[in-house]
Chains A and B, each alone.
Chain A
Amino acid sequence: MEAAEYVAESPAGGPDAVAALLPMVRRIVAARVADATAAEDLVQETLVRVLTASGRVEPGMLEPYAIATARNVVATSWREQDRQRRNQHRVVDLRVPDPPDGELLAAEERSAVAEALTRLSERDRQALLEHEVSGRDTRALATELGSTAGAVAAQLHRARARLRVEYLLARDRVEPPTERCRPVLFALSSGDRRRQREVDAGRHLLECDVCATLSQPLLERAPQRDDEVRIAIGADADVVAARQAARDLAGRLGCFSATDLTLIATAVSEVTRNIVKFAGSGEVVVEVLDHPRKGVQVTARDAGPGIPDVERALQDGYSTYAGLGLGLPGARRLMDEFAIASEVGRGTTVTMTRWCGQR
């Protein structure tokens, strides 16, 4: 009792008594923890705890309390170490660290997007920002603009398509060389096939290198269509590839006989050879048609020298190389519809269709 009174009565005795425990605590901890620095940390922590508790501890019990506390502190540190070891793999950052120029590229991206945004019309920009940044839905925007949700969605679709085009232009810092570039790129970006036909996008891409390069990402983001095949033509082997692709696509329709398929493949072979022979390069697009009947349409276009006398080229036996002169007239006989548009110096487009069913 006296000791208790002594501790209680002399407030200075608390810290002193605790300090007296230091060597013993050190011994206990050192016996369990090898690392000197870690051990010292634990010793300090033990003493702090003992000190805060010293007022509550019965006199004479301070030493056993300190021993128990030291053991607990050590045990806790082991548990923590163990937990850390077990969870260490979770904090490993497996992401590739940003490349040193990452920031710069990101800044360029940002400025390209910002630049592209400024090139949009005020109305498109507002709608886009309201929707994408402020997160307002199309219905809310529609009531505000006195329009319908569908119309707003369509407008946003166009604005995004335009933004993609302007972004690509701003990113590559190019100015479209012709007036046709923007409409063509926009048609490709929006994925509107009717519009693409209207602006004759395929032909423009053959003629304009800038657009051919810029359009790559736009074409890649378009969903892969299974009712259309596009084959770039540049060598003899592509003639075979084109006619096989046409046969495959037409065959999938299921309405053509084996003979029909061979006729189509032969016609494709003839017009594709003309591209290789006279223009060097071009493209062949094979599409499935649904209206007015099922059928296939083949478009073969090049940006070559063009045909000076289309009428003559369509006559049997007219050949400018050592052929049979049956290419174009033959292909015309093999298909149901056949149209040729050629301009000297600009190139040639042959469009031919074969409908399902008996002729």
Chain B
Amino acid sequence: MTGPRLVSILRQGSYLIASIHTALDDTQMTAFQDDLVERIGRDRARGVVIDVAALDVLDSFATRTLRTIGEVARLRGAVTVVVGIQPEVAFAMVALGMDTGSVHTALDLEEGLAFLDRVVGSRRPVTTLRGGAG
């Protein structure tokens, strides 16, 4: 891949924080899905935050991909929360008749991590490095 990175997947304790930095086409979106699912296993992640704040469009394919990631992650023992859906994007998703299915959503990264702490943390106390989470 050349140029600036399109996505980044960072580890934060037992969580993965995946940020999409720019509009992705379907091929890139699928590659992102595969990378993330692979990282869940490798990093033994218990929670995944997907930050889509930089996306100006979440169409049916992108939504489906996020749902797939959520379902696959759940089967692999991790909880996924999508954060940063822009208000206009949310409108468009409603108009299009899409939702994120069983994937949780939160307003922003901070809320997303708090959500994971509640859900994952209640099952098993996890010591997480929360630096820079805000």
Query: Min CB distance, A359 to chain B, in Å?
Result: 10
The answer to whether the Cβ of B96 comes within 8 Å of any Cβ in the partner chain is yes
Encoded as 1 (CB less than 8 Å from any A CB) or 0, chain B from 52 to 91 comes to: 0000111111011000000000000000000000111101
The answer to whether the Cβ of A296 comes within 8 Å of any Cβ in the partner chain is no
- A326-B26 in contact (CB<8A): no
With beta carbons under 8 angstroms apart, the residue of A244, A247, A324 that contacts B98 is: A324
In the complex, A322 Cα to B63 Cα: how many Å?
12
The answer to whether the Cβ of A236 comes within 8 Å of any Cβ in the partner chain is yes
- B26-A259 in contact (CB<8A): no
In the complex, A269 Cα to B56 Cα: how many Å?
11
In the bound complex, residues from chain A placing their C-beta under 8 Å from that of B88 are: 257-259, 261-263
The answer to whether the Cβ of A327 comes within 8 Å of any Cβ in the partner chain is yes
Query: Min CB distance, A274 to chain B, in Å?
Result: 10
- A263-B91 in contact (CB<8A): yes
User: With A240-B23, A334-B92 given, is the CB distance from A265 to B57 under 8 Å?
Assistant: yes
The answer to whether the Cβ of B132 comes within 8 Å of any Cβ in the partner chain is no
- B64-A324 in contact (CB<8A): yes
In the complex, A273 Cα to B29 Cα: how many Å?
13
In the complex, A273 Cα to B89 Cα: how many Å?
18
Query: Min CB distance, A254 to chain B, in Å?
Result: 16
- A330-B91 in contact (CB<8A): no
With beta carbons under 8 angstroms apart, the residue of A262, A263, A329 that contacts B97 is: A329
Q: Which residue of A lies closest to B89 (CB)?
A: A262
User: With A324-B98, A329-B97 given, is the CB distance from A266 to B59 under 8 Å?
Assistant: yes
User: With A265-B57, A323-B61 given, is the CB distance from A330 to B96 under 8 Å?
Assistant: yes
- A327-B60 in contact (CB<8A): yes
- B96-A262 in contact (CB<8A): no
With beta carbons under 8 angstroms apart, the residue of B24, B86, B87, B97 that contacts A326 is: B97
With beta carbons under 8 angstroms apart, the residue of B56, B59, B97 that contacts A273 is: B59
A interface majority secondary structure? helix
Query: Min CB distance, B119 to chain A, in Å?
Result: 26
In the bound complex, residues from chain A placing their C-beta under 8 Å from that of B1 are: none
- A324-B91 in contact (CB<8A): no
In the complex, A284 Cα to B91 Cα: how many Å?
24
In the bound complex, residues from chain A placing their C-beta under 8 Å from that of B95 are: 263, 330, 333-334
Query: Min CB distance, A264 to chain B, in Å?
Result: 9
The answer to whether the Cβ of A243 comes within 8 Å of any Cβ in the partner chain is yes
- B60-A330 in contact (CB<8A): yes
- B57-A259 in contact (CB<8A): no
- B91-A269 in contact (CB<8A): no
- A334-B25 in contact (CB<8A): no
The answer to whether the Cβ of A237 comes within 8 Å of any Cβ in the partner chain is yes
- B25-A237 in contact (CB<8A): yes
The answer to whether the Cβ of A316 comes within 8 Å of any Cβ in the partner chain is yes
From 322 to 359 in chain A, residues with beta carbon under 8 angstroms from any chain B beta carbon are 322-324, 326-327, 329-331, 333-334
- B25-A326 in contact (CB<8A): no
The answer to whether the Cβ of B27 comes within 8 Å of any Cβ in the partner chain is yes
Select the residue from A236, A323, A331 with max chain B CB neighbours within 10 A.
Answer: A236
In the bound complex, residues from chain A placing their C-beta under 8 Å from that of B25 are: 235-237, 239-240
In the bound complex, residues from chain B placing their C-beta under 8 Å from that of A324 are: 60, 63-64, 98
- A333-B61 in contact (CB<8A): no
Encoded as 1 (CB less than 8 Å from any A CB) or 0, chain B from 82 to 114 comes to: 000011110110011110000000000000000
The answer to whether the Cβ of A124 comes within 8 Å of any Cβ in the partner chain is no
From 235 to 259 in chain A, residues with beta carbon under 8 angstroms from any chain B beta carbon are 235-237, 239-240, 243-244, 247, 257-259
- A269-B97 in contact (CB<8A): no
- B92-A259 in contact (CB<8A): yes
Query: Min CB distance, A57 to chain B, in Å?
Result: 89
In the bound complex, residues from chain A placing their C-beta under 8 Å from that of B91 are: 259, 262-263
The answer to whether the Cβ of A270 comes within 8 Å of any Cβ in the partner chain is yes
| 11 extra interface residue pairs, beta carbon distance < 8 Å, beyond A237-B25, A263-B92 | A236-B26, A239-B25, A258-B88, A259-B92, A266-B57, A270-B59, A324-B60, A324-B64, A326-B98, A330-B60, A334-B92
Q: Which 8 A-B pairs have the closest CB atoms?
A: A262-B88, A330-B96, A236-B25, A269-B59, A259-B88, A266-B92, A326-B60, A236-B26
A-B contact pairs, 24 of them (CB 8 A): A236-B25, A237-B25, A237-B27, A239-B25, A239-B26, A240-B23, A240-B25, A244-B23, A247-B56, A257-B88, A258-B88, A262-B91, A266-B58, A266-B96, A270-B60, A273-B26, A276-B26, A323-B64, A324-B60, A324-B98, A327-B60, A330-B95, A333-B96, A334-B95
